[in-house]
Amino acid sequence: MSHLPPLLLALAGFTALAFATDRQQHDLLGRPLPPSATRALRIAGAAALLLALGALVAWKGWGLGLVMFSGHASLAAGVVLGALILRARAAARAPKR
């Protein structure tokens, strides 16, 4: 197994959790999502993170798997946060209509 599948799962999980927040829904979509969609995004995000954890623990055991999950989760969270910051800066620079 490689590091890519758990990293992509963690990235998908944090992206889903970001889309589940009211602020990001307003900023990215211009409107809030229905509560059922927000709940589904939260469940999907948590499930993706748990799958990433499970894959790493199955691959390397509890000791190293948890440490690797910490690194994958930190990297994925940083990528999602960086993308949201860049998106917010681009939106702030865009001319208002």
Q: What pLDDT is recorded for position 1?
A: 78
Summarize the confidence of residues 63-71 as an average pLDDT: 97
Q: How many CB atoms lie within 10 A of CB 45?
A: 20
Q: Which long-range contacts (CB under 8 A, 24 or more apart) does 20-28 make?
A: 20/45, 24/84, 27/87, 27/88, 27/91, 28/87
Per-residue pLDDT of 11-61, as tens digits, reads 999 999 999 999 999 988 889 999 999 999 999 999 999 999 999 999 999
Which tokens sit at 57? 């623990």
pTM (two decimals) = 0.91
Please give the Cα distance from 74 to 65 (Å, whole number): 14
- Examine the pLDDT at 95 and tell me if it is beyond 90: no
Which residue type is seen at 63?
Answer: G
Which two tokens mark 64? 């190293």
Average pLDDT over residues 69-85: 97
Kindly state the tokens that stand for 8: 């992509």
